[in-house]
Amino acid sequence: MPKVAFYTLGCKVNQYESDAMAELFKKRGYELVDFDDVADVYVINTCTVTNEGARKSRQIIRQAIRKNPEAKVAVVGCYAQLEAEEVSCIPGVDVVVGTKDRHKIVDLVEQAGKNDGKIIEVEDIMHTKNFEEIAFRGHRQRTRAFLKIQEGCNMFCSYCIIPYVRGPVRSRTLEGIIREAENLAGDGFQEIVLTGIHLGLYGADFKGGPTLYDVIERLSRIEGVKRIRLSSIEAMELNNDFIKKLASIDSFCHHFHIPLQSGSDRILKLMNRRYTTAEFEERLQFIRDVMPNVGITTDVIVGFPGETDEDFEMTRELIKRSGFSRLHVFKFSPRKGTPAAEMPEQVPAAVKELRSRELIKLSRRLEWNFREGFTGRVMDVLFEERDSRGLYHGLTGNYIRVAVRSDLDLRNLLLPVRLVENRDEYILGETKKF
């Protein structure tokens, strides 16, 4: 039985796509092995969001070639889409596939095995109109399943290469989504996390077709699906009516990941972000009015070109006011091919590092404070894993990490837990009959 190994860089969407391709190989009779093992085929699913992502992609490609010079090496994903010629010139690469036609991966690899020439399957992604369906039963992360429902982005933020490598917005049919969700529920997954390149634009390419709310409402009627969560969504895509309707769905998790990026209107404009700080704060306040226990996490970029100490202070103060439950902090990385890479007043690396450390410290404090506000309450927790100390870890609906001790195997159980003691990275809880 031939062996295939995968290495995935980048986002949850990439992981979903890798798992889908892995399933195609397994259906064709391949054994899936760890990337550290010697395999007959290596598939590297690349990232190119930052220059570091592209560098890491090249490093992993060469690592695979060294492991087994006789193996067939396929390079797929965003870096392959953007730099197909560069990737194809790496000695030992046999197949190059961009961000479409991943459903052909097994055929292309086997075709490469029959001849000595390279196969490059990369087209102009900007002409792609349809969502690519890959027969799959969903990306598994412990007890949650990620379900991709959307592809592409047309926002063109000035720092982001993604619209150029993922193409225009394409939405998955409701029938395809429900079919995969029903399979996931049948496999025992109780939480589904909806994901996409720009999730809030789901349905924008349909004429009178389903909306993101329609997807969520339909998923809520599938037996066995206890939780529905959104991976990330933009503030301006959360209008009042949408929020109210989401609040009426019992299985919808009261947790949103809403990227802020900057607390300075001047910097937001340079980033080509399509909101002001006032509009952003107004959205957050409305969400909290409708969902009082909501957890809101966010992304922030520090050191964007032209960001002054005053701009950074505005960001820090907005974060404090907003009471996020967690921050994902990114130091600006110039990406060749984006407008921001050519902007004047690039911020020195040392300044970006200091600002990053300051916001990471603030994030820890915000996390602690958010968890502390729920200490003493009883909340439902979906348990995912057991650590080396014998603690079972899981998440509440509003994304609080909880750990409990138990002699029973709690994995994939949704249980009421009393939150009793706030720790550095989680709340210690206890499971009892209350």
**Residues 271, 413: one domain?**
no
Query: Is position 280 within any domain?
Result: yes
**Residues 28, 172: one domain?**
no
Task: State how many domains the chain has.
Answer: 3
User: Strands 144-151, 191-196: parallel, antiparallel or unpaired by DSSP?
Assistant: parallel
**Residues 108, 188: one domain?**
no
* pLDDT for the residue numbered 142: 59
Instruction: Report residue 115 CA to chain centroid gap.
Output: 37
Query: Is position 71 within any domain?
Result: yes
* pLDDT for the residue numbered 116: 66
What residues of the chain score a pLDDT lower than 50? 139, 434
Query: Is position 130 within any domain?
Result: no
pTM for the complete prediction?
0.91
CATH assignment at residue 411: 2.40.50.140
CA distance 202 to 177: 12
**Residues 105, 241: one domain?**
no
**Residues 229, 256: one domain?**
yes
**Residues 145, 293: one domain?**
yes
Query: Is position 182 within any domain?
Result: yes
**Residues 107, 185: one domain?**
no
Query: Is position 257 within any domain?
Result: yes
* pLDDT for the residue numbered 107: 94
**Residues 197, 77: one domain?**
no
Length reported for the chain: 434
Tens of pLDDT, residues 319-355: 999 999 999 999 999 998 999 999 999 999 999 999 9
Phi, psi of 246 (to 5 degrees): -60, -40
- Listed in sequence order, the residues at least 6 apart from 81 whose beta carbon sits closer than 8 Å to its beta carbon are 48, 98, 99, 122, 125, 165, 166
**Residues 241, 118: one domain?**
no
* pLDDT for the residue numbered 207: 87
* pLDDT for the residue numbered 128: 87
| SS3 readout for the chain | CCEEEEEECCCHHHHHHHHHHHHHHHHCCCEEECCCCCCCEEEEEECCCCHHHHHHHHHHHHHHHHHCCCCEEEEEEHHHHHCHHHHHCCCCCCEEECCCCHHHHHHHHHHHCCCCCCEEECCCHHHCCCCCCCCCCCEEECCEEEEEEEECCCCCCCCCCHHHHHCCCEECCHHHHHHHHHHHHHCCCCEEEEEECCHHHCCCCCCCCCCHHHHHHHHCCCCCCCEEEECCCCHHHCCHHHHHHHHCCCCECCEEECCCECCCHHHHHHHCCCCCHHHHHHHHHHHHHHCCCCEEEEEEEECCCCCCHHHHHHHHHHHHHHCCCEEEEEECCCCCCCHHHHCCCCCCHHHHHHHHHHHHHHHHHHHHHHHHCCCCCEEEEEEEEECCCCEEEEEECCCCEEEEECCCCCCCCEEEEEEEEECCCCEEEECCCC
* pLDDT for the residue numbered 219: 98
Query: Is position 365 within any domain?
Result: no
CA distance 404 to 382: 12
CATH assignment at residue 68: 3.40.50.12160
- Listed in sequence order, the residues at least 6 apart from 101 whose beta carbon sits closer than 8 Å to its beta carbon are 121, 123, 132
Query: Is position 245 within any domain?
Result: yes
Query: Is position 392 within any domain?
Result: yes
**Residues 180, 277: one domain?**
yes
* pLDDT for the residue numbered 234: 97
CATH assignment at residue 175: 3.80.30.20
CA distance 142 to 144: 6
**Residues 119, 174: one domain?**
no
**Residues 66, 36: one domain?**
yes
Instruction: Residue 409: give the domain boundaries.
Output: 378-430
Structure tokens that stand for 118 in this block: 């390279």
